[in-house]
Amino acid sequence: MTFAVPKASSDPLPEISAFLTPFAPLFRRSQSRHSLERYTTGLLTDLDRKNCDTIAAALAGTSTERLQHLLTDADWDSRQLDGARVRSLSARSPKGGVLVLDDTSFPKQGKASVGVARQYCGALGKRANCQVVVSAEYVAEEPESSRPLHWPVCARLYLPEGWATDPQRRERAHVPEEVGFRIKPQIALSLVDLSREWEVPFEVVVADSGYGDNPSFLKGLEERKVAYVCGVESTFGVRRPEEVRAAKEAGAPPYKGRGQPPKERPAPLYTAKEVIGSLPDGAWQTVSWREGTKGTLSKQMVALRAHRATGSPRHSTTHDRVVTAAEGWLIAERPLVRPAGKEPGEEDLKYYYSSLGADVSPARLTALAHSRWAIEQFYEDAKGECGLRDYQGRRWDGLHRHLALSMVAYSFLMLQSSVTASEDSTSGEAFSPLGQAHDAAGDPQAGDGVVARRHGAVVHRNRSDKDLSPS
């Protein structure tokens, strides 16, 4: 004898309905608006996997076919939904925030899903079949808070070159004609442009070395007049300001009357490792940027002014390989405490480069460099609690619609948590959309899911009326 699994009620949860109401005009048909509510509710249920089949099995009032129609054939635009959600969140978020850029991967068994290729998969820590998505996250710059406000902006699939140049695969996966091959830093720059268009209140971009080591990416930010703090590798090229000035003053070598007149030569080029390695141990200082759950977050760091640079002195300053950007900060950090008897080594060092001005404090540079934890936490929680990785279709539009709806669900949880935090503020707890614990380095503790710890599932298959108010 078999038993049916109880389904959650077909009645919408009032809080979810109220949150979705401003987005209803983006969905022309009433059936699409109903499916929007059902799918979002399904993403907030206590399901291990959240796709059309499992959501339809868990929720009354819908079906697999209706949910699939929402993702593939219904008349609505995922980018418009992203924009409407982001504009709403931007209006209630502090100005002067941080835009964190990063990418995440979704392992896939087959090869037919759009963008799937054998490439590095961060989720598995090795090369494997996967999809890679580039995304942006807004983080409020709240130096004193261990749990600053943060929410996702949007996400775009990285389409490998093998996909981008294959007409048949593109057609089967419904890849739009205007979508061509772009490397991840190019996609990230497009997300910066979207964030500006949607009035995300950020002033600084933060990214890891996968982006910071790409000269075109940094140039793109500089052309947009967007300040940044980006991780870089030890081989990152810089020039010393005093030597740049001296080379400029010296001008071109004297003409000896033979051949073409010599051109001005650039100052010497150094790697980040060379410059930092030349500093005395006394140049390092202990910097603390805020309180964490286990005490003050601190690092040993050093920062000095330098020019981002490329190109050999063999070329003139006008050569296309020679770049000497405006003066910025070369930053290095190492752990405050190292194992007894162990000398600091290269594996202990992390390098960053920032275009921020000379008046920025070391503590702020360090805090900004460490704000990347927010997007890593979003990836962990959105995959575990909002079904971010669970799309099972093969189409470009279906994947991006699923990503947009997962971010809607995550944003709903964030706002629910902000209500809890606001009510808790009377007892001295700082405002925060999502609870968060950090390790001594200031990074989120592995496996400490924010959403799971604060709320868990909003809707249960056998109990749809979970009290969303704080207990």
Within a domain: residue 354? yes
| Interatomic CA distance for residues 344 and 172, integer angstroms | 53
88-114: burial string, b at 16+ Cβ within 10 Å, e else: bbbeebeeebbbbbbbbbbebeeeebb
* Amino acid present at 227: A
The model's pLDDT over 288-335, given as tens digits with 9 standing for 90+, comes to 877 666 667 788 999 999 999 998 777 777 777 889 999 999 999 998
**Residue 248 DSSP SS3:** helix
Mean pLDDT across the stretch 149-163? 96
Is the pLDDT at 343 greater than 60? The verdict is no
Residue 417 pLDDT? 77
What are the angstrom distances between the C-alpha of 432 and each of 93, 141, 144, 379, 413?
11, 12, 12, 18, 12
What are the angstrom distances between the C-alpha of 158 and each of 141, 172, 317, 389, 396?
28, 17, 35, 15, 11
| Interatomic CA distance for residues 32 and 67, integer angstroms | 9
Token pair recorded at residue 8 = 């959650």
Within a domain: residue 268? yes
Is the pLDDT at 273 greater than 50? The verdict is yes
The model's pLDDT over 245-271, given as tens digits with 9 standing for 90+, comes to 998 887 777 766 676 766 777 889 999
Instruction: Quote the radius of gyration of the chain (alpha carbons, Å).
Output: 25
Within a domain: residue 238? yes
Within a domain: residue 291? yes
Q: Give the list of residues 6+ apart from residue 412 with CB closer than 8 angstroms, or none.
A: 15, 16, 19, 40, 44, 458
| Interatomic CA distance for residues 314 and 182, integer angstroms | 32
Residue 344 pLDDT? 56
Within a domain: residue 144? no
The tally of domains found in the chain comes to 1
| Interatomic CA distance for residues 115 and 205, integer angstroms | 26
Element (H, E) at 222: helix 215-223
Within a domain: residue 51? no
**Residue 439 DSSP SS3:** coil
Within a domain: residue 208? no
Q: What percent of the chain has pLDDT over 70?
A: 80
Q: CA nearest 412: which of 44, 8, 25, 27?
A: 44
Q: Give the E-state strand segments of 337-403 in sequence order.
A: 350-354
Within a domain: residue 25? no
Q: What is the pTM of this model?
A: 0.86
Range of the domain at 355: 232-252+263-366
Mean pLDDT across the stretch 366-382? 93
Q: Is 9 exposed, middle or buried (0-12, 13-18, 19+ CB in 10 A)?
A: middle
Length of the chain, please?
471
